[in-house]
Amino acid sequence: MPSALNHNFTIPEHWKPQPTSRMCFVCGRENITGLQLKFYEDREAQKVYCPLWIPADYQGYPGITHGGILATILDEISGRALALHLGGEVFWVTARMEVRYRKPTPTEQPLMAVGWVEETRRRSAIVAGEIRLPDGSVSAEVKSVIVQPDRKTLEAWLGSAEADEWKVV
């Protein structure tokens, strides 16, 4: 299965890579059925970017990316913005997510996912993101509420072997 990473993008020098995991469906380096996306921080703009190229394997209708794949990418990009905003690794989970599909998102074309934080609270945050088409227009957007997981869930994750695989490569 091809990854959704487009190897033809030029990454601006001031964008810094964010960590990825070993087996995550979205960013997992070794997940052969996943998207294998890479995410970059622009600290000055306080945004996270992900250049991508969605292969036809992830289509719904011919030539159009499946909405579930777009929702997955938007969930990831918007949540990752909190790590940038708070200055480090942050493992929060999505509690509510609203996706608006504005126009069809084509497969096999260069796209850009962008995420940012709109508001932070003590144990939750409102984050947002969008998928941009080659012409810069927005094909899909998200606004989500993310929350800190309960202590038991977080401790189980941090105690797993996968936690040691969360790194920039």
Per DSSP bridges, beta strands 16-17 and 40-42 are antiparallel
The answer to whether position 8 is within a domain reads no
> What is the model's pLDDT at position 118?
98
The amino acid present at 53, given as its one-letter code, is W
**Tens digit of each residue's pLDDT, the chain (169 residues):** 556 655 578 999 999 999 998 999 999 999 999 999 999 999 999 999 999 999 999 999 999 999 999 999 999 999 999 999 998 777 899 999 999 999 999 999 999 999 999 999 999 999 999 999 999 999 999 999 999 999 898 888 887 777 777 777 6
The answer to whether position 2 is within a domain reads no
Token pair in block for residue 40: 């970059």
The answer to whether position 111 is within a domain reads yes
CATH code at 41?
Answer: 3.10.129.10
Q: Domain total for the chain?
A: 1
Token pair in block for residue 124: 């939750």
Q: Give me the helices (H) in the chain, please.
A: 67-86, 151-158
Which residues in 54-137 belong to E strands, given as ranges? Answer: 93-101, 110-120, 124-132
The answer to whether position 85 is within a domain reads yes
The answer to whether position 6 is within a domain reads no
Q: Which residue has the tokens 């200055």?
A: 87
Token pair in block for residue 66: 């499946």
The answer to whether position 60 is within a domain reads yes
- Provide the domain limits for residue 37: 16-154
Q: Is 80 exposed, middle or buried (0-12, 13-18, 19+ CB in 10 A)?
A: buried
Instruction: State pLDDT tens for residues 108-147.
Output: 999 999 999 999 999 999 999 999 999 999 999 999 999 9
pTM to 2 decimal places: 0.92
Instruction: Please tell me whether residue 158 adopts helix, strand or coil conformation.
Output: helix
Q: Could you tell me which of 97, 114, 96, 103 has the C-alpha nearest to residue 140?
A: 103
